[in-house]
Chain A
Amino acid sequence: MKASRRSNFLYRYEIITLVRQRWIQFLVLILLGLVLFAVVNGKQKVDQRLGDIQEAQQTVIEKDSLGVILLDSIEAGFTVDVPRWYMPNQPHVVGYNYTRVAAMPPDNLAIIATGQSDIFAHYVQPNLYGESFELNYTELSNPVQLMFGSFDLSFVLIYLLPLIVIAFTYNILSAEKEQGILQVIASHPVSLFQWLLQKSLIRYLLLTGILVVLLVASLSVAGILLFSDFDRIMIFILLTMGYTLFWFVLACLVNLKGKSSANNAVWLISMWILLVLLVPSSVNQMANSLYPVPSRARLINELRVVNAEAEKKADELLENFLRDHPELAGFEGGSRGWKEYFATQDLIKNEIQPVLDEYEVKLEQQQAWVNRLRLASPALILQNSFNEISGTSTSHYEDYRQQISDFSLTWRNYFLPRIFKGEAFTKAMMVELPEFEYQPSTSYGQSAGNTSILFIYCVVLLGFGVVISRQSKIIPSS
């Protein structure tokens, strides 16, 4: 009989054996429940995020309509019964009250991993005054801080899937040994190691088959456009398969040691605690200890000191500002108070820049550290990749922050000349206001490479298995 025919034959009976066992049916039901719950949970979050953004945009539309009506009346020469600080014909009023929504809409695959979306705002409305945008966003968390958070697909796959794999495999060899069936198998002309590999492969294919169908079906039901993101979906599935394979191979290695099923279970749970809980949290702790982010209190304190200093010498600062910006000098119109305010803002920004830079550097160092040490645990590799695929990674939010920063500047620069020149804001200008358009990051970072790393880990573990099987023959009796 050819080897392939024999394999098909083994596959058939392994599947029949598995299907007839109640605990397998129970495990599949658990998996189904977990995936569905995670998808529903993730979808709720994404919907809430979309709803918040739409609500903010609707408010802007309504406000704009009101502004146009007011401007219409003002331009027609009517007297409008609105306080002076709400009059939309003043540029600084529009710059403050008629802000645009700078939103980061959730990615098509955002329901896979909450990632950093729990701690960042998804829309802001930069205006002319107040703290600069950066101040609200410098207290970034390091990339693994929220790993213990949401019950999303990434949580199910990273934390709970290995437990299901362990339940599926902890006795993949020891059960036959303890039942005495292994003796009967060993009496046949078959290599027990190869038989174990074939048996594991069947179980792996069965579990991943069920898992992939569950994932694809639940994502489709949740409204995810699978074909529009086919490459990212494929990476997501390959990562899941690689991670599952890692735990399967690990279970085979533990079984090869020839201990009892109970012993195998203890070993595998210990590995789960180490690789899924301890290593990621240690990397997190080390990142915080090695590259501590400067205190936010210090930043606010410095800001207040600089603000107070700036107010004292506002006149002098305005002169300096106009010297640096000759295009804004020589206009008599507009409020001197506002001109002084913008002049001091420049100084404040320059003064606090070193502290902001320090934040940036520390955060980059933290992220680089975590990125390097992701190789220490397949769980970290997977979290890193899932966040990238879902558009919820730290780098996605950094990119968004930069886009907002640029838009803030565009918004400010649109109004500044008009304020300094004392120009009136008109209805025609309302449609010319700068708009924010989020440019999503198109790279998935390291996800593709991470997939390869997971499979390399599996090959290395398998190599260990071959060595173990050669060094110590599988003893078929207890």
Chain B
Amino acid sequence: MLEAINLSKSYNDHQALADLNLSVKSGEVFCLLGANGAGKTTTINLFMGFIPATSGQAKINDLDVATQSGESKRYIAYIPENLMLYPNLTGLENLDYFCGLGGKRNSKEQLEELLTQSGLQESFIHKRVNSYSKGMRQKVGIALARARGAKALLLDEPTSGLDPKASNEFSGLLQEMKENGVATLMATHDLFRAKDTGTHIGIMREGELKHTVSANSVSLSELEELYLETMKLEKAILQ
């Protein structure tokens, strides 16, 4: 569903992403781990078509993002680190608006149900978003992904800043989507969440995907060790 083929991005002399190759199939959750500036967000932005690739291809459902941007976006949903919505619209109105942008119309009842299923308290559905917490906005994002029937989900540090309960709820929602066959690419700093939710874990450093492991094949401590080892190498290189 999601595929990066020799995907690279550079800004002047700085190589933000170098020859990335990865593939995320339906029902898989690929977690990208790495320090700040490792290239995780760049990867997500390239898949979203927010920035043009220097070379290589990002494909969604076999559609090249660079040349078939509009068509490829029909299959994806995106939740950034801090999902921003129109503050003067209610959660329901925001959901209706963005569904409309994506070309989907749902009845009010359907939208209410989607929001409830995504964990948003009923009392907040008709309240303006300016009274929402970050976790509530992320839940609207999940509801939006569901409403649009997205086949792929691109998440850029979606649990960053969420309290453990909200983070746990979010993981539960991802799990549900995974079971429904949604392919997910998630950039995160959270090793525990990556191990808990992911099917594959990639560790990035300086724009390169250094390791890819199956989440089932490593324990949390092994993952941590591998991560720190990769980061130490980076530190050593820097010194």
Q: Taking beta carbons and an 8 Å cutoff, which residues of A are in contact with B?
A: 1, 5-6, 9-10, 13, 16-17, 20-21, 179-181, 183-191, 195, 473, 475-477
From B45, B52, B78, B104, give the contact of A184 (CB < 8 A).
Answer: B78
Residues of A within 8 A of B192 (CB): none
In the complex, which residue of chain B has the Cβ closest to the Cβ of A190? B101
Residues of A within 8 A of B52 (CB): 473
Complex-state Cα separation, A184 to B154, whole angstroms: 11
Complex-state Cα separation, A134 to B163, whole angstroms: 87
Residues of B within 8 A of A473 (CB): 52
Tell me the number of A-to-B contacts counted with CB atoms below 8 Å.
83
| A9 and B83 form a contact (CB under 8 A) | no
| A191 and B70 form a contact (CB under 8 A) | yes
| B103 and A187 form a contact (CB under 8 A) | no
Q: Does B100 contact A (CB under 8 A)?
A: yes
In the complex, which residue of chain B has the Cβ closest to the Cβ of A185? B101
| A183 and B98 form a contact (CB under 8 A) | no
Q: Does B105 contact A (CB under 8 A)?
A: yes
- Interface readout for B78-98 with A: 1 if CB under 8 Å, 0 if not? 101011111111000100111
Check A13/B48 contact, CB under 8 A, given A179-B84, A187-B78, A191-B70: no
Residues of B within 8 A of A17 (CB): 86, 88-89
Complex-state Cα separation, A72 to B85, whole angstroms: 90
Complex-state Cα separation, A181 to B97, whole angstroms: 12
| B84 and A6 form a contact (CB under 8 A) | no
| A475 and B51 form a contact (CB under 8 A) | yes
In the complex, which residue of chain B has the Cβ closest to the Cβ of A8? B100
Residues of A within 8 A of B97 (CB): 9-10, 13
| A6 and B100 form a contact (CB under 8 A) | yes
Residues of A within 8 A of B74 (CB): 189
| B102 and A186 form a contact (CB under 8 A) | no
Within 8 A of A (CB), among B92-129: 93, 96-98, 100-105, 128
| B82 and A180 form a contact (CB under 8 A) | yes
| A181 and B86 form a contact (CB under 8 A) | yes
Output the least CB separation between B125 and chain A (Å).
Answer: 16
Task: Please give the number of chain B residues whose Cβ is less than 8 angstroms from any Cβ of chain A in the complex.
Answer: 35
Residues of A within 8 A of B234 (CB): none
In the complex, which residue of chain B has the Cβ closest to the Cβ of A187? B78
Complex-state Cα separation, A17 to B128, whole angstroms: 11
| B83 and A184 form a contact (CB under 8 A) | yes
Complex-state Cα separation, A97 to B102, whole angstroms: 83
Check A187/B84 contact, CB under 8 A, given A16-B89, A475-B51: no
In the complex, which residue of chain A has the Cβ closest to the Cβ of B78? A187
Q: Does B76 contact A (CB under 8 A)?
A: yes
Residues of A within 8 A of B50 (CB): 183, 186, 475-477
Within 8 A of A (CB), among B153-187: 154
From B84, B93, B154, give the contact of A13 (CB < 8 A).
Answer: B93
Complex-state Cα separation, A21 to B84, whole angstroms: 17
In the complex, which residue of chain B has the Cβ closest to the Cβ of A13? B97
Check A183/B103 contact, CB under 8 A, given A21-B88, A189-B70: no
Output the least CB separation between A419 and chain B (Å).
Answer: 81
| A189 and B73 form a contact (CB under 8 A) | yes
Residues of B within 8 A of A184 (CB): 78, 80, 83-85, 98, 141
Q: Does B71 contact A (CB under 8 A)?
A: yes
Q: List 14 A-B contacts (CB under 8 A).
A: A13-B93, A13-B100, A20-B88, A20-B128, A179-B87, A180-B80, A180-B83, A181-B85, A183-B84, A184-B83, A184-B85, A186-B49, A186-B50, A188-B102
Complex-state Cα separation, A190 to B100, whole angstroms: 10
| A186 and B82 form a contact (CB under 8 A) | no
Candidate in B50, B78, B102, B141 with the most chain A CB atoms within 10 angstroms: B50
Complex-state Cα separation, A183 to B128, whole angstroms: 20
Output the least CB separation between A428 and chain B (Å).
Answer: 80
| B76 and A187 form a contact (CB under 8 A) | yes
In the complex, which residue of chain B has the Cβ closest to the Cβ of A5? B105
| B102 and A189 form a contact (CB under 8 A) | yes
| A186 and B48 form a contact (CB under 8 A) | yes
Complex-state Cα separation, A453 to B84, whole angstroms: 41
Check A189/B89 contact, CB under 8 A, given A1-B104, A183-B80, A184-B78: no
In the complex, which residue of chain B has the Cβ closest to the Cβ of A191? B70
| A188 and B101 form a contact (CB under 8 A) | yes
Complex-state Cα separation, A183 to B87, whole angstroms: 15
| B73 and A183 form a contact (CB under 8 A) | no
Complex-state Cα separation, A165 to B69, whole angstroms: 33
| B93 and A1 form a contact (CB under 8 A) | no
From B77, B78, B100, give the contact of A10 (CB < 8 A).
Answer: B100
| B73 and A187 form a contact (CB under 8 A) | yes
Complex-state Cα separation, A281 to B70, whole angstroms: 48
List the 3 closest pairs (A to B, CB-CB), nearest first: A180-B84, A187-B78, A20-B88
Complex-state Cα separation, A473 to B45, whole angstroms: 14
Output the least CB separation between A442 and chain B (Å).
Answer: 50
Output the least CB separation between A101 and chain B (Å).
Answer: 60
Output the least CB separation between A208 and chain B (Å).
Answer: 22
In the complex, which residue of chain A has the Cβ closest to the Cβ of B105? A1
Residues of B within 8 A of A195 (CB): 101
Residues of A within 8 A of B70 (CB): 189-191
Residues of A within 8 A of B76 (CB): 187
Output the least CB separation between B139 and chain A (Å).
Answer: 14
Residues of A within 8 A of B71 (CB): 189
Candidate in A20, A183, A184, A186 with the most chain B CB atoms within 10 angstroms: A184
Residues of A within 8 A of B86 (CB): 13, 17, 181
In the complex, which residue of chain B has the Cβ closest to the Cβ of A477? B50
Residues of B within 8 A of A16 (CB): 88-89, 93
| B84 and A189 form a contact (CB under 8 A) | no
In the complex, which residue of chain A has the Cβ closest to the Cβ of B96? A13
Complex-state Cα separation, A20 to B130, whole angstroms: 12
Residues of A within 8 A of B96 (CB): 13
Complex-state Cα separation, A6 to B78, whole angstroms: 21
| A187 and B77 form a contact (CB under 8 A) | yes
| B103 and A1 form a contact (CB under 8 A) | yes
In the complex, which residue of chain A has the Cβ closest to the Cβ of B87? A179
Output the least CB separation between B1 and chain A (Å).
Answer: 16
